[in-house]
Amino acid sequence: MSILSILGISLSNFLQLLIFLNGIFYLFLMLTGSIILRKKKNSGSADNKKIAVLVAAHNEENVISFFLESVLKADYPKDKLEIYAVLDHCSDKTQEICLKYPVNIILRNAKEAKPGKAAALNYATQKIGADNFDAFCYFDADSLMHPSFLKKCSYLLNKGALAVQGKQVSKNPNDCWLARIISVGQIISAVFFQKPKYFLGLSATFHGKGICLEKNIVKNFLWDENCLTEDLEMQMRLISQGIFIHWAEEAVVYDEQPVNIKQYMKRTIRWTRGSLDTAKKHLKGLFLRFLRKKDIKALEGFVYCANVYRLSLAGITAILIYLNLNEFNFLVWIYKSIPGARLTLKLFFLSPLVIIPFAILIIEKAGFKMLIAYFMQPILGIFRIPTFIGGIFKDRINWDRTEHSSAVAIGDIVKK
């Protein structure tokens, strides 16, 4: 056997082992999530932190009023809250609409000013002054903030939290089947990913909105203006510095889902490009922190960040297995070593991937159409290869805006 063949077989089995361990880890998270169904109730603290709410907007005349109204209806002392609308090169009626509300408006219209959410937020922070507040909360214009969001964040801040991510819920799940499919994915993610990670002492995943950062984090960690997924990049930077990100299940933020494939593809391609850049920037540092500090949070961050490569790794692994069918293959060996392998594997995968999620959706009272949408999720898998390829060739300069049009008010979702 040639050295080249030995290297090929070794690489194949190494990749198979990585895929197996990655799958086991996320199956473990899902099973943990199915056990801890009860929400942890956090009573509000009397010491309400002074919070600045920032929303970056570029031509968001269709939705900005709904967001501002949701913040103004917050169950939070008015003297402890300031709202800032950061208008980034707007050419529509966004500014005109914002002027109707008691909010602070920060304009970025200079041609030389770099466009994009990260640049807008950094500019706003410099204008506001981080020391003037205890914490900053970040939202997108299509978001809606639950009335108790700030109280839940303040509670965690009083307990020493430096970074918090609220629970993300769709505000337009009934607009179309695409919105339903993505919305049901959010439900499953909250129960089987965010909650068990937090339960196990792992950092939450940032979602770009519903993020709360303590003032010292705001001062020392600027948003990366060269990354198309500034939230993911910030998440990995915080984890690599040993800063824990709390998940606030009761701090709910509602956001808008795409209603057509063009919107979905555009958004996903941008996310892919940003995820690839973030992985390139932070994978080494996360892994080194794990080795040096034995920080399991850094290892989980490394695994999550590296998952952007899972499609290409799976493809390479499949090719290597095919080329070495007559040699030892770890996954084939595992399959043959399990007694009653077919039945065992079916139960092993069906339980966390089908049976338990189906039960969770019933418990969450998601509704019949959402149950059907869960089983339609594989349809989006069709777009994984083209979006990954699109992400590879996506330029890093233009922060592509997603069109928002869902006219949903907080009163339509949260009833008093």
Residue 311 has pLDDT above 90, yes or no: no
- Check residue 380 and give its pLDDT: 87
Does residue 186 sit within a domain?
Answer: no
Does residue 107 sit within a domain?
Answer: yes
**CB 174: neighbour CB atoms within 10 A?**
12
Does residue 375 sit within a domain?
Answer: no
Question: Which of 228-242, 311-325, 369-383 has the lowest average pLDDT?
Answer: 369-383
Nearest to 155 by CA among 50, 252, 71, 48: 48
Among all chains, which residue has been given the structure tokens 């949903």? Answer: 408
Q: pLDDT, tens digit, for every residue of 189-225?
A: 888 889 999 999 999 999 999 999 999 999 999 999 9
Does residue 326 sit within a domain?
Answer: no
Does residue 150 sit within a domain?
Answer: yes
Residue 351 has pLDDT above 90, yes or no: no
- Check residue 324 and give its pLDDT: 85
Residue 310 has pLDDT above 80, yes or no: yes
Does residue 269 sit within a domain?
Answer: no
* pLDDT, average across residues 59-80: 96
Q: Are 296 and 201 spatial neighbours (Cβ–Cβ below 8 Å)?
A: yes
Q: pLDDT grade, residue 42 (50/70/90)?
A: low
Q: Are 214 and 157 spatial neighbours (Cβ–Cβ below 8 Å)?
A: yes
The domain that holds 161 is classified in CATH as 3.90.550.10
What CA–CA distance (Å, rounded) separates 238 from 88? 26
Q: pLDDT grade, residue 400 (50/70/90)?
A: low
Q: pLDDT, tens digit, for every residue of 96-134?
A: 999 999 999 999 988 777 888 999 999 999 999 999 999
Does residue 303 sit within a domain?
Answer: no
Which residues fall within 8 angstroms of residue 316, CB to CB, at 6 or more apart? 15
Q: pLDDT grade, residue 369 (50/70/90)?
A: confident
Higher pLDDT, 185 or 345: 185
- Check residue 356 and give its pLDDT: 63
Does residue 64 sit within a domain?
Answer: yes
Q: pLDDT grade, residue 363 (50/70/90)?
A: low
Q: pLDDT grade, residue 350 (50/70/90)?
A: low
Q: In this structure, what are the phi and psi dihedrals at residue 369, rounded to the nearest 5 degrees?
A: -65, -35
283-292 burial: b if 16+ Cβ within 10 Å, else e: bebbbebbee
Average pLDDT, the chain: 88
Which residues fall within 8 angstroms of residue 360, CB to CB, at 6 or more apart? 34, 37, 187, 188, 191, 192
* pLDDT, average across residues 270-280: 94
Tell me which residue range forms the domain holding 246: 51-179+202-259
Q: pLDDT grade, residue 228 (50/70/90)?
A: very high
Q: Domain count of the chain?
A: 1
Q: pLDDT grade, residue 334 (50/70/90)?
A: confident
Q: pLDDT grade, residue 330 (50/70/90)?
A: confident
Between strands 104-108 and 163-170, the pairing is unpaired
Residue 340 has pLDDT above 80, yes or no: no
- Check residue 353 and give its pLDDT: 61
